[in-house]
Structure 1
Amino acid sequence: MTRRLLAALASAAVATTLVVGVPAMAQAVTPNPTPPSSSGEDEVRKAQYWLDDYGIAEAWQTTRGEGVKIAIIDTGIGRAPAEFDGAVAAGTDVSGVGSSDGRTPVGAVDADHGSWVASLAAGRGTGPETGVIGVAPEAQLLAVSVGFGSSATRSFADQIVDAIHWSVDHGADVINMSLTTNVPDWPESWDEAFQYAFDHDVVVVVAAGNRGSGTTRVGAPATIPGVLTVGGVDRAGKASVDASTQGITIGVTAPSEELVGVSPDGTVVSWDGTSGAAPIVAGIAALVRAAHPDLDADNVINRIVKTAHPVGADPADKLLYGFGLVDAAAAVSADVARVDANPMGSLKDWVRLYRRAQSQPQPTESAASVEVPPLPKADTVTRASSPLLPDRDTVLYGTLPLTLLTAAAILVALGVTAAVRRIRLASRTPSR
């Protein structure tokens, strides 16, 4: 009944190693329309085990996501599948090679990826009980096509900045990013872009990446404070070996193996990867936003992480599961206290602590004249005196008389001397 479909999804290099968190292999289930099984049950719908196992079908009793917009920043959402009829509200291309509505798949080997992701988030199915149905089947999708490596004419960093701004400006309540850079750091231009989303009350959901495609640790944008990073588990709820990675920034975990998605041509495939776990959580975020329209993004994320089922008591388990396995029904209906901050951290605080502080403009001086009061009169200057230097009284009463007496004495002495000489000369004159 099924056949193998190899999806060789290669890593792309843009500045750093940039890859989409995609499966190494996809298994085709069957093209639409899907014939029912002998029991009359649709095989595609039956394969979507997470709908019951993670409380999604139960949450539908409260809401199916109506009125919420989920932006899928990925390789584009195909036009052909019936699962997307009426689902895509708007779209754009930031890669430079797609179509203006974001509905033309971009990429040589990963073009199907965006459609797989979108179908898990908000696919409509092909009927009430047939086809691929998303977690929030009444939410609207925004298709934002990006390209990786040579499949784009613009840098990946710039594409992400533009994609986030466009999504926010077109009313996104949730943004899904099933992609990774494989490195923890991110371009500085992303600081402003992601903060723009947070400032506009948008929930940003990001895939943690897959070891099977070369991601050995969580990479950006899953390392950015404030995003809800999603790790992956297998059907039994155990941390996936190849279809997930680990790290301290993981917020929650969701199924990442034996997933079902619809390709742009309508083919239904089975695939693995946190690229599928992320849109499941993005869909849950849409359900929470629809059920609690008064909650801000921080509290939407808080409901998801606080109602997740913890796994293990070892601190190392936190690296694999974050707060635990998501529970859509609890996230929608449980009594959860409100918070004042995003439990996944603050990008604004991180930037202030770790980015180089921007120089602040110096205050400009006022050009108005200021009247200065006149200075007081100067004090009379008293010259410094010394016992070694004569003052006025010393000169008048001491030095001057002494000088006169000395001069007179000298004159008298000269006169006496002259007189003595005359007498001596007179005594030596011979008599006649």
Structure 2
Amino acid sequence: MKEDIHQDRRFKDALNDAPVFGYDPEAWDALQKRLDKATTKPKGFFLPRWAAAAALFLLLGLCSFSSYLALRLNGAGERLAIAEKQLVLRADTVWAVKNILTRDTVYIQNGPLLATQSAGAWAGRFPLFQPGASFSSSATPPSLAHSGGIVSGFASLSRQSSSREVQEDKSESSLNQNWGQQLALLSPPALPDLSALTPRAVTLPAVVAQESQRASWIRRTAYQAVQKGKPQGTTLLGGGSVANFYSMPGADFSSYVLNLGLELEYGPHWRLEAGLELVHFSFELQDEKHFGDYPSLLPDAPSDNLQDIYVAMDYIQLPFSAKYFLNPKGTALQPYFKAGAVLRQPRKQNFDYEFIGLGEAYYHPLTIRNDDIYLSSLRGGAGLAVAISRNWGLYTEALYHYDYRLGANDHTLLRYLGFNAGLRLRLN
């Protein structure tokens, strides 16, 4: 019995005395380095929230403006076509109503030519030409002809017309009315007999409309840019991930990806795609050499060791991609290549640290919520689109995602090969 009492003495002494922990400088220095590394901001480029919001609003504004400009130009083109069809057989035909016009009065001398012949001679120089029909058989200069009243009507017409421009969006009735008023001012007496004309000077007032080349180039360039930027078709995409194969540290991966996108057609082969994705990943990290890439937590006791890290993440992503289809539009099977970039915002990152010491294992959780939107990864691969009806179809694709981890609080390198599938709905 006495021996049993002595055997328990060391346990009683251990309970009565305060615990003493040894100090290991090297271990504490290593822990401090890990803490410093975890709090250091990763290198790279990321956008703050206000910049990402401004970029999104700018993109929406550009899309709205291009749509509005395309509608306006289409309407103006239709009105121009109607006006040209109705004016093509008139004697005062306006052959083209384009750009900003500058009108002037021109005098043709030293040639007994009729108005129609003069019009043909000047038509190669001026895109728009409206000849007058007033002649003078004398050699009176144009400066003196104003006092005789022959050219006064044309001079006043020139002064009146130089203060205003022919606008493209005028309706057919207003164009006819303006030219009718000008022709009323230009209404001449009967043409003289050709046999009575001598080889003396013939003064021919003519109203000439000349294009402004600068305005023509600007309008033409803007119109062509809008026409080329306007998509030839729009397709709605919806689907998700079927299987993912990972080339990143960890084990027991579980994930899903849901996406909704819009595809714009440009030509028979090229498409642009933008969308919205909801991403969820969870896995277990057991390799100690990768623990330093994640935030560090202190154990309950310095002698306890970190055994596992359980990671679960929820992301919102904005992917932008370009596609090249091998077969032109209209074929049933359309293989394509795809490449693009991803903007990401982490919504929630959960880390559960498993420590083990002298007793049982215990856990310390850590949650990081919300982060800025930043450029996170690049992706590329191949896919196949299958048409099952006029507007409906299926698609499947294999994409490799290469993550750069550029966010301030993003701690996971998502590098994996994903297989996606979904539906296609052609809107127009």
What is the TM-score of this pair, normalised by structure 1? 0.16
Q: Could you say which structure has the larger radius of gyration?
A: 1
Higher fraction of strand: 2
> TM-score, normalization: structure 2?
0.16
